[in-house]
Amino acid sequence: MQIVAVNGSPHGEKGSTGRLLAEVLGGTREAGATVQLFELGRLEIKPCRGCDACHRTGQCPLADAFAQVSAALLAADAVVLASPNYMFHVTAQMKSLLDRLCGPFHLHAFEGKYAATVVTAGGPELAPVADYLTRFLRAIGCQTVGGVAAEAYRLTDAAAAGERFAEARALGRRLVEAARDKVSFPGQEAERSAAARRMRELISLRHSDWSYEYEYLRHHGQL
């Protein structure tokens, strides 16, 4: 059971997001999983240039850490995306990664994977970021097991932090159990399948531009 986690905070393991994420990953290890963690603050993932090469050729021409991170995510059984709230959204580092995943996103390539989210914020603005990450994860094909979120100040108070850390560990264990038992979340099906259908329709319409994706879907009997 391979878990791949990505922390979008520039503060790494020592930041609020990194500390909460560490508890989730501790829970996944307790449940028997192997973990690979990517700290985006230490990696270079350039912003997407919108060249469409991923749709035409299946390859991103930008040379940086993206190839390594995306290959690990594609090989994972379950993924964890973690980000603090930066101006009502994920960090620029996380957004660059998600934009660069546009090719796999079109192909709903995370189908069969399970996912969880970790979000922190200075104040109460946790839900917009958690909802955004969840929407992305379902639209790329994952079933989402849940998320943990905390205001940064709560993680400096021992009692409040303990409560959130316990919730985070339980989430990690649930993520591994869901992936191992192939649990299904029927409430997510309509959203996930609508996203896949939308992309199939768009790829059919754009078949002469997005030739790699059109051929991929045909080859896999999805058109």
Point out the residue whose Cβ comes nearest to ligand FMN: 15
Query: Which residues have a Cβ under 8 Å from the Cβ of 190 and sit 6 or more positions away?
Result: none
Q: Does 153 bind ligand FMN (CB under 6 A)?
A: no
Of 117, 120, 134, 143, the one binding ligand FMN (CB under 6 A) is 120
Q: Does 112 bind ligand FMN (CB under 6 A)?
A: no
Q: Does 177 bind ligand FMN (CB under 6 A)?
A: no
Measured distance CA(9)–CA(103) in Å, rounded: 24
Q: How far is the CB of 154 from ligand FMN (least distance, A)?
A: 10
For ligand FMN, the closer of residues 47 and 122 by Cβ is 122
Q: How far is the CB of 6 from ligand FMN (least distance, A)?
A: 13
Q: Does 88 bind ligand FMN (CB under 6 A)?
A: yes
Where b means 16+ CB within 10 Å and e means fewer, 7-28 reads bbbbbeeebbbbbbbbbbbbbb
Q: Does 74 bind ligand FMN (CB under 6 A)?
A: no
For ligand FMN, the closer of residues 155 and 203 by Cβ is 155
Of 4, 5, 9, 60, the one binding ligand FMN (CB under 6 A) is 9
Measured distance CA(97)–CA(83) in Å, rounded: 12
Q: How far is the CB of 12 from ligand FMN (least distance, A)?
A: 8
Measured distance CA(162)–CA(177) in Å, rounded: 23
**DSSP secondary structure string for all residues of 8-33:** --TTGGGSHHHHHHHHHHHHHHHTT-
Angle (nearest 5°) at CA 120 between 71 and 151: 165
Rule CB under 6 A: which residues touch ligand FMN? Answer: 9, 11, 15-18, 84-88, 120-123, 125, 152
